[in-house]
Amino acid sequence: MEKEPITFPDDFIWGTAVCSHQAEGHNVHSDWWEFEHQGKIKDGAVSGPAADMLNRYPEDFALMEQYGYNGFRLSVEWARIEPEQGRFSEEALLHYENVMKEMRKRNIKVCLTLYHWVLPKWVADSGGWTAPGCVRWFQRYVRRVVQRLFPYVDLWCTLNEPTAPLFAGYVAGVFPPEKRSWPLACRVYRNLLRAHVAAHTEIMQESEKLGADKQPLIGIAHAINYVEPRNPDNPVESKIHEFFDFMHNRVFVESMKTGCIPFPFGIGEKIHGLAGSYSYMGVNYYYRMTLQLPKKWPPGDLIDFLYVEGRETTGMGYESFPPGFYEVLKYMSGFDVPLYITENGCADADQDDVLRRRYLVRHLAQMHRAIKDGMDIRGYFQWSYIDNFEWLYGFEKKLGLFALEPGTLNRIPRPSATMYGRIAKNGITPGLVREFAPSVETELWGE
Ligand code: FCB
The finding on whether 346 has its CB within 6 A of some atom of ligand 1 is no
Q: Residue 12: how many CB atoms within 10 A of its CB? A: 18
Nearest to 51 by CA among 82, 85, 86, 16: 16
Any domain includes 172: yes
The residue type found at 352 is D
Q: What is the extent of the structural domain holding 108? A: 13-445
Q: Which atom of ligand 1 is nearest to the CA of 223?
A: 7
Q: Give the pairing of strands 109-115 and 411-413.
A: unpaired
Residues 38-47: tens digit of each pLDDT: 999 999 999 9
The finding on whether 390 has its CB within 6 A of some atom of ligand 1 is yes
Q: Which atom of ligand 1 is nearest to the CA of 316?
A: 6
Burial class (CB in 10 A: 0-12, 13-18, 19+), 276: middle
Any domain includes 7: no
- For residue 123, how far is its CA from the centre of ligand 1 (angstroms)? 22
Contacts of 172 (CB under 8 A, 6+ apart): 180, 301
The finding on whether 256 has its CB within 6 A of some atom of ligand 1 is no
The finding on whether 19 has its CB within 6 A of some atom of ligand 1 is yes
- For residue 122, how far is its CA from the centre of ligand 1 (angstroms)? 24
Q: Which residues of the chain have pLDDT under 50?
A: none
- For residue 440, how far is its CA from the centre of ligand 1 (angstroms)? 26
Any domain includes 3: no
- For residue 113, how far is its CA from the centre of ligand 1 (angstroms)? 13
What does pTM read for this prediction?
0.97
Burial class (CB in 10 A: 0-12, 13-18, 19+), 97: middle
Any domain includes 251: yes
The finding on whether 18 has its CB within 6 A of some atom of ligand 1 is no
Q: How would you write the chain as a 3-class SS string?
A: CCCCCECCCCCCEEEEECCHHHHCCCCCCEHHHHHHHCCCCHHHCCCCCCCCHHHHHHHHHHHHHHHCCCEEEEECCHHHHCCECCECCHHHHHHHHHHHHHHHHCCCEEEEEEECCCCEHHHHHCCHHHCCCHHHHHHHHHHHHHHHHHHHCCEEEEEECCHHHHHHHHCCCCCCCCCCCHHHHHHHHHHHHHHHHHHHHHHHHHHHHHCCCCCCEEEEEEECCEEEECCCCCHHHHHHHHHHHHHHHHHHHHHHHHCEECCCCCCCEECCCCCCCCCCEEEECCCEEEECCCCCCCCCCHHHHECCCCCCECCCCCECCHHHHHHHHHHHHCCCCCEEEEECCCCCCCCCCHHHHHHHHHHHHHHHHHHHCCCCEEEEEEECCECCCCHHHCCCCCCCCEEECCCCCCEEECHHHHHHHHHHHHCECHHHHHHHCHHHHHHHHCC
- For residue 349, how far is its CA from the centre of ligand 1 (angstroms)? 16
- For residue 175, how far is its CA from the centre of ligand 1 (angstroms)? 13
Ligand 1 pocket mutation pick from 390, 392, 395, 396 by most atoms within 8 angstroms of CB? 390
- For residue 161, how far is its CA from the centre of ligand 1 (angstroms)? 8
347-360: b or e for each residue (b if 16 or more CB lie within 10 Å)? bbeeeebbbbbbbb
What is the tally of structural domains in the chain?
1
Q: What pLDDT does residue 347 have?
A: 98
The finding on whether 307 has its CB within 6 A of some atom of ligand 1 is no
Nearest CA to ligand 1 atom 3: 19
| C-alpha span between 377 and 426 (Å, rounded) | 18
Any domain includes 269: yes
CA 35 distance to own-chain centroid: 21
| C-alpha span between 235 and 241 (Å, rounded) | 10
Q: What pLDDT does residue 143 have?
A: 98
Any domain includes 4: no
Residue 298: asked if its preceding bond is cis (omega within 30°), the reply is yes
The residue type found at 376 is D
Ligand 1 pocket mutation pick from 42, 163, 167, 284 by most atoms within 8 angstroms of CB? 284
Q: What pLDDT does residue 1 have?
A: 61
CATH number, domain containing residue 114 = 3.20.20.80
Nearest CA to ligand 1 atom 9: 19
Any domain includes 2: no
Any domain includes 8: no
